[in-house]
Structure 1
Amino acid sequence: MNRTISALKEWLNPDWARHRSVPPFEAGLRPNRRLDEGTALLPEAEFEPDDVVIRDNGEVVFSSGDGIFTLADGVVTRVATLGGQVGTLLVAEDRMIAAVDGVGLVTIDADGAATDLCTDAELAACVTDLTLLPDGIVLATIGSRAVPDWSAALVADDRSGRIVRVDGSRAEVVAEGLGWPGGIENSGAGEVLVSLGFDHRVERRAVTALAKAGTAVGTNLPVYPGRIATCTDGWWVAAPYARNRFTELLLDEPELLREMTATIRQDQWFVPRLRCPDPYTDTLQLGQLRVHGVIKPWAPARSYGLAFRIDQRGRIAEGVHSRADSDRHGVTGVASRDGRIVVAARGFRNLIEPQKDKER
């Protein structure tokens, strides 16, 4: 019945139809090998970085597993061990704020001592990003309230994502009904940037009206945008997953989608993922078919490596890529300070400092 109604609406007015199309990587998203040719900063396969920040003194801090670590002069030091999987990080003056699954928001001081900041149930799971407003208020994005697993939320077309305002130990939901809000960052002038993964969109929203749809900065992106980090000339956006045509087709076929989720293991679902260690088990439709023993770099990969920068005018100015024929994929965090860029490639299980842009 729903498909009949959709067809009738499209016949009455083609502009009402929902057409899933995957735009090419072009302009500021033109593919390169800056991640592939960049420097891996951690020992191989010893960590699984989820988020990364750079302090004012140049010290790199990242989350991995249940811990927070620092990286200085090539030496990794554990700062704190917390009571659950540590996700997004936020620098707030001389302290850190971390989202911990099963706990909420935790403050870590300069000595590594951890103190619960807000343990409200709204923040107990699926906190995707944090930002600090000038008045000291913290805003948190919750990817999904109902389905905290990304791939399960994607196939369910889940829209239970939220923005939560945190004032001390109090949490207040200020926006809901969002399609996996994966990132939020203060952009000044009383606004924040919000990335909406399932809408393939980055937009500005007024801090005083976070529940209202904002002004688009990037729409119909070829990726599912994630965390956002401020830099001197705009904002960097992590893109953990790239879109592909096969998944888009699948999402338009509810019967096939139900059959897939009922009969196939979740790790074999035909959806993007952070890493693709065994391309031989992937379906041919995903384009990762080897030609003379080589995975073609233009193939629509199951996993991809990408972070991109949006400039002050709202244009995508540059990106750092790891293409389909490489493995530096699954960028879940990005940080920039004084021209230095570091990305947390959770799929690759390492931190990467991309190669400098030869055109800049």
Structure 2
Amino acid sequence: MIAPIRNFIDRIRGNGRHAITTPPMDGVLQPNTLIEDAPLLAPISRPDNLVRRGEEMLFSSGNQLMRINGTTPEPVEAFPHAVNALAASTGNALAIALMDGSVIVRGGKHDGFSLDQRQAASLTCITALCFSGEDRLHICQGSHRNPLSEWKRDLMERNAAGSVWTLDLSQKSLTKIASDLAFPYGILADDKDSLVVSESWQSRLISIDPSGNVRPVLEDLPGYPARLAPQSSGRGAWLSVFAPRSQLIEFVLREDKFRADMMRSIPSDLWMAPSLTAPHSFLEPLQGGGLKQLGVMKPWAPTRSFGLIISLDENFAPVASWHSRADGTRHGITSVADRGEELVAGSLGGDALVSLRHSGGLPA
């Protein structure tokens, strides 16, 4: 009873969830240029879903499954639909989720497994996968209202239409374990038989126990979190943050009539909304002296896009970060993979794979 009353009062006063303030980028999140200055591994169109399977580094590019050996990407397999998510098990199984809801397993104990059409119809927007052992695959569905390609519309509609599912590969059964989530976009199994999920539109990480109970783990992030990846040390995790929050976007999210008019009359690339790519058009909503000085982009300019990777300790507290700022181009980091002392990051908005050196989750 108290929660609805508190929510009503917060809405009137602009407090709590209804505030338009955003957390400062300070402490371990203080901006730097480590992503922008990192060596380029390979230019590649829209790299996403980086995973490490044994000694292999795999990722997706559109409908292609790719492998990178050294600095050379090479195709492994092409699919009839875009690849939405990948996950690798300790037994070298690779799960592949496609845009149409299909989930396919290559290698390992369940090689050749695929969901039937009836089950796949429940999964209209798969955003992330992770294995828990060889027999269980956990699945994030970002929204049952919009496909992954329409993530921006899902945010602007203020949906909480996401869910987390468990697929038992032995029994071929699919079970929903949490629903009404605000675009779950990353998932990691912890050592307590729970799942840690990045809930993008709430800018937080949550833990979901086997009974489906949800509790916050890390709240009030300065951006929209994407995928989680384990650190090679076995302690801690990597969190990709694909776009920044801002007071202007928070304000727009609270103006229903303006937002509806904007979505109806303006192309989505020009909405006052987060973006995966650095500014490239004079028609974009943030322009002029607020962004540039003497024709040069200010690193501290307000921006709808950036690149951000956060190193988390075993308690999912931030300990270090890597950035590409407003004046950079390696924006829209949606996934990373750790191979020892090298972290490979995919800039979905910058069409680049970059190599970041680290030592125990800290910049090297």
Same fold (TM over 0.5): yes
Q: Identity percentage over the alignment?
A: 26
Contact 1:163 1:175 (8 Å CA) reproduced: yes
Q: Which residue of 2 aligns with 1:245?
A: 247
Q: Which residue of 1 aligns with 2:223?
A: 223
How many Å apart are 1:217 and its aligned residue? 2.4
How many Å apart are 1:189 and its aligned residue? 1.4
Q: Could you tell me how far apart the structure 2 residues matched to 1:246 and 1:12 are?
A: 19
C-alpha RMSD of the superposition = 2.5
**Match 1:283 to one of 278, 282, 285:** 285
Equivalent position amino acid for 1:249 in 2: F
- Correspondence 1:122-271 to 2 at 5 A: 122=121, 124-134=123-133, 136-148=135-147, 149-168=150-169, 169-206=172-209, 208-210=210-212, 212-214=213-215, 216-231=216-231, 232=233, 233-271=235-273
**Match 1:346 to one of 345, 348, 351:** 348
Describe the shift of the 1:253–1:189 C-alpha distance in structure 2 as closer, same or farther (beyond 3 A).
same
* Per-residue Cα deviation, 1:189-213 (whole angstroms, up to 9, x for no partner): 111211100111012221x122x22
Unaligned runs of 5+ in 2: none
Q: Could you tell me how far apart the structure 2 residues matched to 1:7 and 1:123 are?
A: 32
How many Å apart are 1:280 and its aligned residue? 2.4
Describe the shift of the 1:184–1:118 C-alpha distance in structure 2 as closer, same or farther (beyond 3 A).
farther
Contact 1:36 1:328 (8 Å CA) reproduced: yes
Contact 2:196 2:207 (8 Å CA) reproduced: yes
How many Å apart are 1:114 and its aligned residue? 6.2
Q: Could you tell me how far apart the structure 2 residues matched to 1:11 and 1:104 are?
A: 41
Name the SS for the 2:76 alignment partner: strand
**Match 2:337 to one of 324, 332, 335:** 335
* Per-residue Cα deviation, 1:81-131 (whole angstroms, up to 9, x for no partner): 112101221112222111111141112238xx9652565235643211111
How many Å apart are 1:294 and its aligned residue? 1.1
How many Å apart are 1:277 and its aligned residue? 4.5
Tell me, yes or no, if structure 1 residue 98 matches structure 2 residue 100.
Answer: no
Unaligned runs of 5+ in 1: none
Describe the shift of the 1:72–1:156 C-alpha distance in structure 2 as closer, same or farther (beyond 3 A).
same
Equivalent position amino acid for 2:187 in 1: I
How many Å apart are 1:352 and its aligned residue? 1.1
Name the SS for the 2:282 alignment partner: helix
Describe the shift of the 1:280–1:187 C-alpha distance in structure 2 as closer, same or farther (beyond 3 A).
same
TM-score, normalised relative to structure 1: 0.89
Describe the shift of the 1:198–1:84 C-alpha distance in structure 2 as closer, same or farther (beyond 3 A).
same
How many Å apart are 1:341 and its aligned residue? 0.7
Q: Could you tell me how far apart the structure 2 residues matched to 1:163 and 1:122 are?
A: 15
Farther off after superposition, 71-80 or 323-332: 71-80
Farther off after superposition, 13-22 or 300-309: 13-22
Equivalent position amino acid for 2:159 in 1: D
Tell me, yes or no, if structure 1 residue 19 matches structure 2 residue 19.
Answer: yes
Equivalent position amino acid for 2:35 in 1: L
